[in-house]
Amino acid sequence: MTNTLEIDGLRLHLPGAARPVLAGIDLTVGARETVALVGESGSGKSLTSRSVLRLLPPGATTEGRVAVQGQDVLTMDAKQLRQLRTHTAAMIFQDPRAAINPLRRIGDFLTESLRLNADTPAQQADERAVRMLDAVGLGERVLRQYPGQLSGGMLQRVMIASALMGDPALILADEPTTALDVTTQAEVVGLLDDLRERFGTGLLFVTHDLGLAAAISDRVYVMYAGRIAETGPAEALFDRPRHPYTAALLRSTPRLDAPQGRLAAIKGQPPSLKEELTGCPFAARCPFATQACAEELPPHRPVPGEPDRLVACHHSDQLADQLAGSAAHD
Amino acid sequence: MTTALVRRPGLARVRTNRPLLYLLCLGFLGVVVLLALLAPWLSPHDPNAVDLGNALAGPSAAHPLGADGSGRDTASRLITGARTSLLGPLGVVAFSTVAGVVVGVAAGWRGGWLDSVLSRTTELVFAFPGLLLAILIVSIYGEGLIAPVVALGVAYLPYVSRLTRSLVLAERERPYVEAYQVQGHSAVQICLRHVLPNIAPVVLAQSTINFGYALIDLAGLSFLGLGVPALTPDWGRMVFDGESAIQAGYPLSAILPCVAIVLTVVAFNVVGERWADQVARRDR
């Protein structure tokens, strides 16, 4: 069976950057699978999800392969790309208030894509809009309302409904809960999970919130400076991080279920795009870094005994116990 | 939004915050437009009927606003003159708005070399005085309404295209444009169906202000004898014809069209500025 999304060796260059913004991303999302892509700002997680719809900044050049349902997105012509965006993959944005045209009624927003790009008769499109609104827990009434009349949480539901309108195989959610308040966040995440199950779509969930990633996803990719640092099943990865960066991220996340001292911030800044990188991108901030880390780029290696996990660290085997211990304690 | 409308130095300060004054201006424009539309039924006399016996007559029951140097009824000429005086600027504004929006959207949305070519070209036009361009074209194609209207339309195009370009540049960065892109809409669709309606109010405000400017310019051309043909009633032309009346000591037939021009231009300016302010407030 082909995966819904397959990214192989995706590299992305931006004009003016000294190193690739994405330096060889490998990522898969299976059918009906939820995959979280975690990283701090500037790690390239949003760019990765955007490249799936080829929504790239001007001047960007790409190498590698990004295949949705087996079709390479990066080599599509304009017509195929529109087909992909209308039917196969959909994106949910961070701030629904900004991503929905304020001058159009919700009904218009939901049905426009089907009416214009799929030649669906207006009535059929309306019916589907009503069904999708129902699926996200909103009434038919919303169709005639304007975005200004709805709350942020409701608008994000509208956004999700619009993503489902074309019956996509893959939904990309780019920090869909960041702009919402905490109570609404939980609802929206729960809803996304339900709908993924019900409509059988794959879900790539981009977030910087580790708790959210752990709660919703089957597998997690941790990104740092345009590379995947570590990947594996959510539970194993958060319980026994094998990459110092994952461990540091976990330590810097507030938790309710553990005795709490000061949160450990990660010292230093992520590497600037203006400098070339040699060696491991995390070496400068890593407490365990050695000479080898600064000189040689660590390849992705499987974790012994855990076939689904890959980690890009020279010392992950030696550090395993320390990292797991530190993640659990602080 | 920080996009500034293009204004002329003197008229930029003609604006009001008082709703009453704004409504008054709007009402005045309504009256002028009505007069223009209903001119054949409203004007008491044939505006071109010469009655030399009545030349330079003061206000009377038959001629409420007096008569000009050829004895033509001033009231009738003012009312009928409203037609040409509004039709001309309307043509200028329609032409410059449509063409300016096309140029501005193309430059702003497409960017790159097309933007450079279009922006430099319109700047070139902008640097060239509109009246001079109009005089040039009129001197080639002869007098009439079409030549000066087209010339001024071209001269006003940069006002609109610059504004549209900057609005489009700001608008295309807004996330909803991307949201439509990932729904599979083409750039043309997004542009026509969403970006244009969203920037329309500002462009409309600019065009309203332009209407006043175009009215001044066309009246100026008529005053110089380069606008409408001699017999057509037109406010600018009336000022020109009224010169002799002023010299004869009966200035009424020259002053009244001046007053009409000034009031109309001020009213258009106030209304346009008010709309621009409202849009700016909405965006904040």
- pLDDT of A256: 66
Domain ranges of chain B: 73-283
- pLDDT of A329: 45
- pLDDT of B23: 93
- pLDDT of A152: 86
Once rounded to an integer, what is the mean pLDDT over residues B98-108?
93
Cβ-based contacts of B185 with chain A (< 8 Å): 82, 112-113, 116-117
Cα nearest neighbour of A164 on chain B: B183
Of the residues B183, B194, B196, B284, the best mutation for testing chain A's interface (the one with the most A CB atoms within 10 Å of its CB) is B183
Contact in structure between B236 and B216 (CB atoms under 8 Å): no
- pLDDT of B137: 86
Task: Tell me how many residue pairs between chain A and chain B have CB atoms under 8 A apart.
Answer: 60
Over the stretch B10-27, which tens digit does the pLDDT of each residue have? Answer: 777 777 788 899 999 999
Q: Does A83 touch chain B (CB under 8 A)?
A: yes
pLDDT for residue A326 is more than 70:
no
pLDDT over 90 percentage in chain B: 35
Cα of B188 to nearest chain A Cα, Å:
12
Of the residues B110, B178, B182, the best mutation for testing chain A's interface (the one with the most A CB atoms within 10 Å of its CB) is B182
Closest CA to A33 of A233, A242, A179: A233
pLDDT for residue A87 is more than 90:
no
Query: Quick one: pLDDT band at residue B158, thresholds 50, 70, 90?
Result: very high
- pLDDT of A260: 61
A86 with B178: Cβ contact below 8 A = no
pLDDT for residue B90 is more than 90:
yes
pLDDT for residue B35 is more than 70:
yes
Cα of B278 to nearest chain A Cα, Å:
16
Over the stretch B198-231, which tens digit does the pLDDT of each residue have? Answer: 899 999 999 999 999 999 999 988 888 887 877 7
Cβ-based contacts of B176 with chain A (< 8 Å): 98-102
- pLDDT of B1: 41
Cα of A20 to nearest chain B Cα, Å:
23
CATH 3.40.50.300 segments of chain A: 5-217
CB under 8 Å to A245, separation ≥6 — which residues? A222, A224, A229, A230, A266, A282, A286
B178 with A93: Cβ contact below 8 A = yes
- pLDDT of A257: 66
Once rounded to an integer, what is the mean pLDDT over residues A246-273?
75
Once rounded to an integer, what is the mean pLDDT over residues A230-242?
87
Once rounded to an integer, what is the mean pLDDT over residues A232-254?
85
Cα of B235 to nearest chain A Cα, Å:
41
DSSP string, chain B: --PPPP--TTGGG-----HHHHHHHHHHHHHHHHHHHTHHHH-SS-TT---GGGTT----SSSTT-B-TT--BHHHHHHHHHHHHHHHHHHHHHHHHHHHHHHHHIIIII-HHHHHHHHHHHHHHHHS-HHHHHHHHHHHH-SSSHHHHHHHHHHHHHHHHHHHHHHHHHHHTSHHHHHHHHTT--HHHHIIIIIHHHHHHHHHHHHHHHHHHHHHHHHHHHHTT-SS-TTS--HHHHHHHTHHHHHTT-THHHHHHHHHHHHHHHHHHHHHHHHHHHHHHHH-
pLDDT for residue B160 is more than 90:
yes
Instruction: Nearest by CB to B184, from A86, A93, A95: name it.
Output: A86
Instruction: Nearest by CB to A55, from B182, B194, B198: name it.
Output: B182
CB under 8 Å to A9, separation ≥6 — which residues? A24, A25, A26, A63, A64, A65
pLDDT for residue A50 is more than 80:
yes
Once rounded to an integer, what is the mean pLDDT over residues A206-219?
87
Q: Does A100 touch chain B (CB under 8 A)?
A: yes
pLDDT for residue B116 is more than 80:
yes
Once rounded to an integer, what is the mean pLDDT over residues A88-95?
89
Cβ-based contacts of A53 with chain B (< 8 Å): 182
- pLDDT of B261: 93
CA A144, CA B168: separation in Å to the nearest integer?
27
- pLDDT of A330: 43
- Name residues 101-120 of chain A within 8 A of B (Cβ): 101-104, 112-113, 116-117
Cβ-based contacts of A116 with chain B (< 8 Å): 185, 189
- Name residues 75-114 of chain B within 8 A of A (Cβ): 111
A166 with B184: Cβ contact below 8 A = yes
Cα of A204 to nearest chain B Cα, Å:
15
Over the stretch A161-171, which tens digit does the pLDDT of each residue have? Answer: 999 888 899 99
Once rounded to an integer, what is the mean pLDDT over residues A270-280?
81
Q: Does B278 touch chain A (CB under 8 A)?
A: no
| Rounded (to 5) percent helix, strand, coil in chain A | 40, 20, 40
Mean pLDDT of chain B: 87
CB under 8 Å to B147, separation ≥6 — which residues? B134, B137, B138, B140, B141
Once rounded to an integer, what is the mean pLDDT over residues B154-171?
92
Residues in chain A: 330
Q: Does B192 touch chain A (CB under 8 A)?
A: no
* CATH number for region B73-283: 1.10.3720.10
Once rounded to an integer, what is the mean pLDDT over residues B114-119?
92
Cα nearest neighbour of A113 on chain B: B183
Domain A5-217 top-level CATH class: alpha beta
Strand (E) or helix (H) holding A220: strand A219-224
* Pairing of β A202-207 and β A5-13: unpaired
A100 with B183: Cβ contact below 8 A = no
- Name residues 196-235 of chain B within 8 A of A (Cβ): 197-198
Instruction: Nearest by CB to A98, from B176, B180, B194: name it.
Output: B176
- pLDDT of B162: 92
CA B190, CA B193: separation in Å to the nearest integer?
5
- pLDDT of A253: 76
Over the stretch A115-154, which tens digit does the pLDDT of each residue have? Answer: 888 888 889 999 999 999 998 889 889 999 999 999 888 9
Mean pLDDT of chain A: 86
Once rounded to an integer, what is the mean pLDDT over residues A16-45?
88
